[in-house]
Amino acid sequence: MFAFGLIIALGCVLWPESNSSAGTQPAPSPAATGREPIRPLPLKMELDARKVALGKALFHEPKLSRDNTISCASCHDLSRGGTDRRQYSLGLNNAEGSINAPTVFNSGFNFRQFWDGRAATLEDQIDGPVQHPAEMGATWADVVAKLRDTPQYAAAFKETYPDGVQSKNVKDAIAHFERSLITPNARFDQFLRGEQTALNSEEREGYRKFKQYGCVSCHQGVNIGGNMFETLGAMADYFAERGNVTKSDYGRFNVTGKEEDRFAFKVPSLRNVAVTAPYFHDGSAQTLEEAVAVMGKYQLGRPLSPEDIDHIAKFLRTLTGQYEGKPLQEVAR
């Protein structure tokens, strides 16, 4: 018995290649084969429900700010299209920031975070507002201590993460929640999925012009933007005409230091654009029409006709999706 076992054991040692297993090939990334430059949002995200729930609580948790007054939701109000609908957000002591808060909806589909794309992931992004002196002004040590002192968080973290309340877990949970903030089933997505009647003729005309006028060169992909950087004022000098240039206006340059990146910003997603006014990094455009006009002027290099603007704006309004089955609230006009 012993001898037999030994021979078997030696056999396994000496002829290991006989024991090899076929490695599973990772599935190839889905090829973007559609002829349309825009793709519909997925209807559902597969996420850890416990992390999403915890992230949701944390997202609305003022303890993440130094003086317990500001939560993520303060500036990314889910009932307001994931924004505060202000030009610049208010931080601690109502200190006004220097840049417009982008919507948190569908932020998981952005290839980078922030206007200047300085954060590669949602998790990294959270460090920014939490620690920014003018935003939530907190330190992770404080935040973690406060959360640990809160029994429900201590328990919920213990349940979800083996190491309990940790800054990385806070970020992970919030990022999970943010990835759950998708707004599928926009009328335009229905149109993309083959329902021609989902858009009326004006809207379809708007989409045609959106493509013809080159808007789609930057605002493409599943998030209709959010996957590249582009200089604001490609065909005309936006900042020269606006004036009062601040550091925030340098955009991507603040990250790379490259001169060609000055005034370059992450192309914002146009999803739910109708409910996320004001527009641009400087919150300068109050309406869609205004924004479309600015884009025509500086990115296309010539003012668009009111008809074009109207059509395009009408198309843009078809991009408003549903969160948890309900259409996002549109800004009153």
Partner 1 sequence: MKLPRILLLVCAALVAVVILFYAKSSHINTAEHERFTTQLSRLNQLDATLSADLLKVRFHLLENYDTFPQQIEEVKRILGDLAQAPSFVPPAARESIRAKVDELVRLFELKAELLEDFKSQNAVLNNSVRYFPVVAAEVLSTARDHELEVHAGALARQVLTYSLNSNDELVPGIRASLARIAAAKESDGAKGLPLASLMAHADSILRRQPKVDDLARQLTSVPTGQRAEELHRLYETQFALAMQNANHQRQVLNGLCLLLVIGIAATIFALDKANRNLDRRVRERTGDLSRANEGLRVEIAERRRAEEALRTKQAQMEALQDASPLGMFFSAADGTCLYTNRTFERITGASQEQIRGSAWRNVIHPDDRARVIDEWAQATAAGRNYETILRYLRPDQSVVWASVKAAVVKQDGVVTGYVGTADDITERRLAEEKLEAAHRQLVDASRRAGMAEVATGVLHNVGNVLNSVNVSASVIAEGAKKSKVSGLTKATALLQEHAGDMGAFLANDPKGRKLPGYLQQLSEHLEEEQAAILKEVAVLAKNIDHIKDIVSMQQSYAKVSGLVEVLPVTELVEDALRMNATALSRHDVQVTREYGDIPPLPMDKHKVLQILVNLIRNAKHACDDAGRSDKQLIVRVAKNGNGCVKIAVSDNGVGIPPENLIRIFSHGFTTRKDGHGFGLHSGALAAKEMGGSLSVHSDGPGLGATFTLELPITPQAQN
Question: Applying CB under 8 A, does 330 fall inside the site for partner 1?
Answer: no
For residue 94 the two structure tokens come to 């109502």
Binder of partner 1 out of 69, 131, 231, 287 (CB under 8 A): 231
Question: Applying CB under 8 A, does 221 fall inside the site for partner 1?
Answer: yes
Q: Does residue 49 sit in helix, strand or coil? A: helix
Catalytic residue among 123, 135, 178, 203: 135
Other Cβ atoms less than 10 A from the Cβ of 94: the count is 8
Angle at 156 between CA 154 and CA 161, to 5 degrees: 90
Binder of partner 1 out of 26, 162, 194, 325 (CB under 8 A): 26
| Nearer to partner 1 among residue 36 and residue 96 (C-beta) | 36
Question: Applying CB under 8 A, does 27 fall inside the site for partner 1?
Answer: no
> 98, 234 in Cβ contact below 8 A?
no
Binding mask 262-301 for partner 1 (x = CB under 8 A): --x--x-------------------------------xxx
Question: Applying CB under 8 A, does 216 fall inside the site for partner 1?
Answer: yes
Helix (H) or strand (E) holding 264: strand 264-266
The interface region with partner 1, picked from 6-14, 59-67, 142-150, 321-329 by CB under 8 A, is 6-14
135 belongs to the catalytic site:
yes
For residue 162 the two structure tokens come to 């083996």
Binder of partner 1 out of 106, 180, 227, 320 (CB under 8 A): 227
Binder of partner 1 out of 143, 218, 275, 309 (CB under 8 A): 218
User: If you ran DSSP here, which 8-state letter would residue 265 be given?
Assistant: E
Binder of partner 1 out of 212, 257, 307, 330 (CB under 8 A): 212
Positive/negative CA dihedral, 13, 15, 19, 24: positive
Question: Applying CB under 8 A, does 234 fall inside the site for partner 1?
Answer: yes
Of the candidates 273, 279, 286, the residue with the CA atom closest to the CA atom of residue 232: 279
Question: Applying CB under 8 A, does 3 fall inside the site for partner 1?
Answer: yes
> 281, 248 in Cβ contact below 8 A?
yes
Question: Applying CB under 8 A, does 305 fall inside the site for partner 1?
Answer: no
The CA-atom distances, in angstroms, between 320 and each of 9, 106, 130, 160 are 64, 11, 29, 33
Residues in CB range of 192: below 8 A, 6 or more apart: 36, 38, 39, 40
Residues that bind partner 1 (CB under 8 A): 2-3, 6-7, 10, 13-17, 19-21, 23, 25-26, 28-29, 31-32, 35-39, 111, 211-218, 220-223, 227-231, 234-235, 260, 264, 267, 299-302
